[in-house]
């Protein structure tokens, strides 16, 4: 039996307690149990689905002290941040519960019969959506509640009528197992199959690969690194029966700042955003594109001063620390000039800031790779056209933020460039912080995601796990048999 060990970010050492890695037989058993529960759950109405989601939210809140303590020990994210994240996770569960009660997963398009021959004439038709089936859910490291065992992917899949088998993140195994145990208790109390929410774990790629390869898995949802996500996505497409793979991968999240918006207040806000969560947010502003103005030098100096004063907590895993160091070295090796680089310790990574001309940024692909951690790259553009070229060179991103955009030809062209590469375009504030709302779009063109037409946050997240079906000339009993 293979074992792995949790990482203690505060001491930068491995914990002594071993965790058993799930075997192929255990993965198979979890998927089979979920699949056995699939038909009954797909037939469950909105009230039953909502009841489960609401009970899961209450279970998290009831066990708050225990869960936050476990999460802080394994992630060093701090109890204030973790309490807020637990609140967000409970909110997500309840929001999808409200969608179920309102009938969101069961919405249909009725097309009454029209007399005559096609194409104008047609029999009565109704287009509705049905659950895909068992979903493999890959938990993220940087959000141990909100993008983990009972996070948004799990909540939206359950709301859509799909069972889930969760690949727990090895960065917080004790928390994952305890959260899953709570879910199992809730399922048992409600008289539901405990197979509806399965869990597998392990630090080796073999566990994740075995899960996505299982023939009974109907879809997969992933939040994490580009490298890991692409590997799983390729496996999903290489199966004898390919499946949808909804991967949220790396993102640079450029911030474009026109001269009039280059203020001390924005510099301070960006410094805080860059280091929030030690820069381990998928929406961290990794590139700041500045159009040159009279105060640009002062803005960069203020940003550097504010960034140097930040005190990020330790990074989540040893692998992330190593990748951050490698990313900084890569930028320096390809033309970036250091502005801020504080001394590091074994436990923490200090902020890093560098700058580069836009022409170099566009010419050097290595400068456009994500550096996951408390760092950002200032790109100096000669004008709006060059700033737009920098955006296009970056490719897909979860967000683009535009400060000081003007209502003129250059402003409109820049807006079009931003909308072409981002899932969310901001005109104020910073990109970190993703609200769970009806209009939210947390996705973007490749390489930000593998499915840019979907979102992993917000009400529309459940649409990932529903497949359209048209029923034509159906008798009345069919409508009575469908869940509502």
pLDDT digits (tens, 9 = 90+) for 236-263: 999 999 999 999 998 999 999 999 999 9
Binned at pLDDT 50, 70 and 90, residue 150 comes out as very high
Q: Quote the pLDDT of residue 463.
A: 97
Q: How far apart are CA 318 and CA 346, in angstroms?
A: 10
Q: Which residues are catalytic?
A: 248, 282
Q: How far apart are CA 215 and CA 242, in angstroms?
A: 10
Asked if 85 and 146 touch (Cβ cutoff 8 Å), the reply is yes
Q: What value does the mean pLDDT take over residues 397-426?
A: 96
Mean pLDDT lowest for which of 10-24, 266-280, 377-391?
10-24
Cα angle 432-54-45, degrees, rounded to a multiple of 5: 115
Q: How far apart are CA 407 and CA 307, in angstroms?
A: 31
- Coil, helix or strand at residue 21: coil
Domains of the chain: 3-249+449-481 (3.40.605.10), 255-426 (3.40.309.10)
Q: How far apart are CA 223 and CA 282, in angstroms?
A: 9
pLDDT digits (tens, 9 = 90+) for 186-229: 999 999 999 999 999 999 999 999 999 999 999 999 999 999 99
pLDDT averaged over the chain? 95
Q: Quote the pLDDT of residue 170.
A: 95
Q: Quote the pLDDT of residue 398.
A: 97
Q: Quote the pLDDT of residue 343.
A: 64
Cα angle 60-7-76, degrees, rounded to a multiple of 5: 55
pLDDT digits (tens, 9 = 90+) for 43-84: 999 999 999 999 999 999 999 999 999 999 999 999 999 999
Q: In the chain, what percentage of residues exceed pLDDT 70?
A: 99
Q: Quote the pLDDT of residue 11.
A: 86
Residue 344, pLDDT above cutoff 80: no
User: Phi, psi (5° rounding) for residue 237?
Assistant: -80, -20
Cis preceding linkage at 267, omega within 30: no
| 137 DSSP 8-state letter | E
Task: Classify the phi-psi angles of 133: left when phi > 0, otherwise alpha if psi is within -120 to 50, otherwise beta.
Answer: left
Q: Quote the pLDDT of residue 313.
A: 84
- The partner residues of 114 in beta bridges, in order of sequence, read 122
Which of 215, 255, 251 is CA-nearest to residue 236? Answer: 215
Q: How far apart are CA 121 and CA 115, in angstroms?
A: 5
Question: Residue length, the chain?
Answer: 484
Binned at pLDDT 50, 70 and 90, residue 17 comes out as confident
User: Phi, psi (5° rounding) for residue 6?
Assistant: -70, 155
Q: Quote the pLDDT of residue 291.
A: 96
Binned at pLDDT 50, 70 and 90, residue 345 comes out as low
Residue 161, pLDDT above cutoff 70: yes
Pairing of β 197-200 and β 219-223: unpaired
Which of 105, 108, 102 is CA-nearest to residue 469? Answer: 108
Q: What pTM was computed for the model? A: 0.95
Q: Burial level of 408, CB count in 10 A (0-12/13-18/19+)? A: exposed
Q: Quote the pLDDT of residue 15.
A: 82
Sign of CA dihedral 368, 374, 380, 384: positive
Asked if 166 and 149 touch (Cβ cutoff 8 Å), the reply is yes
């Amino acid at each position: 039996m293979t074992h792995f060990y949790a990482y203690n970010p505060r001491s930068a050492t491995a914990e002594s307690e071993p965790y058993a890695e799930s075997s192929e037989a255990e993965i198979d058993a979890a998927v089979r149990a979920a699949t056995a529960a699939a038909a009954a759950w797909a037939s469950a109405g909105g009230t039953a689905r909502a009841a489960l989601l609401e009970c899961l939210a209450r279970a998290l809140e009831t066990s708050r002290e225990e869960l936050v303590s476990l999460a802080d020990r394994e992630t060093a994210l701090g109890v204030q941040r973790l309490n807020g994240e637990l609140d967000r996770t409970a909110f997500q569960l309840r929001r999808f519960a409200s969608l179920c009660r309102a009938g969101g997963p069961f919405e249909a398009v009725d097309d009454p019969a029209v007399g005559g021959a096609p194409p104008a004439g047609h029999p009565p038709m109704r287009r509705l959506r049905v659950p895909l089936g068992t979903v493999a859910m890959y938990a993220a490291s940087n959000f141990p509640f909100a993008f983990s065992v009972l996070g948004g992917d799990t909540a939206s899949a359950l709301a859509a009528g799909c069972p889930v088998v969760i690949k727990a993140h090895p960065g917080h195994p004790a928390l994952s197992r305890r959260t899953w145990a709570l879910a199992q208790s809730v399922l048992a109390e409600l008289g539901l199959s405990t197979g509806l929410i399965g869990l597998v774990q392990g630090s080796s790629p073999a566990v994740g690969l075995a899960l996505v390869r299982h023939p009974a898995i109907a879809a997969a949802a992933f939040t994490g690194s580009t490298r890991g996500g692409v590997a799983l996505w390729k496996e999903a497409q290489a199966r004898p029966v390919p499946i949808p793979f909804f991967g949220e991968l790396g993102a640079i999240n450029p911030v474009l700042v026109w001269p009039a918006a280059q203020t001390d207040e924005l510099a301070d806000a960006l410094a805080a955003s860059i280091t929030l969560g030690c820069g381990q947010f998928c929406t961290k502003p990794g590139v700041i594109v500045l159009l040159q103005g009279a105060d640009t030098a002062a803005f960069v100096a203020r940003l550097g001063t504010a960034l140097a004063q930040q005190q990020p907590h330790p990074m989540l895993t040893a692998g992330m620390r190593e990748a951050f160091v490698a990313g900084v070295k890569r930028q320096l090796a390809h033309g970036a000039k250091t502005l801020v680089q504080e001394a590091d310790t074994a436990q923490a990574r200090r902020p890093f800031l560098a700058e580069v001309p836009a022409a170099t940024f566009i010419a050097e692909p290595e400068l456009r790779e994500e550096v996951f951690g408390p760092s950002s790259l200032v790109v100096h553009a000669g004008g709006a056209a060059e700033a737009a070229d920098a955006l296009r060179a970056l490719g897909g991103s979860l967000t683009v933020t535009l400060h000081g955009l003007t209502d003129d030809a250059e402003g409109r062209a820049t807006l079009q460039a931003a909308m072409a590469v981002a899932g969310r375009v901001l005109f104020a504030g910073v990109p970190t912080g993703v609200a769970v709302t009806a209009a939210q779009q947390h996705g973007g063109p490749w390489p930000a995601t593998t499915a840019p037409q979907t979102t992993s946050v917000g009400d529309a997240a459940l649409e990932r796990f529903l497949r359209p079906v048209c029923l034509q000339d159906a008798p009345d009993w069919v409508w009575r048999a469908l869940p509502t």
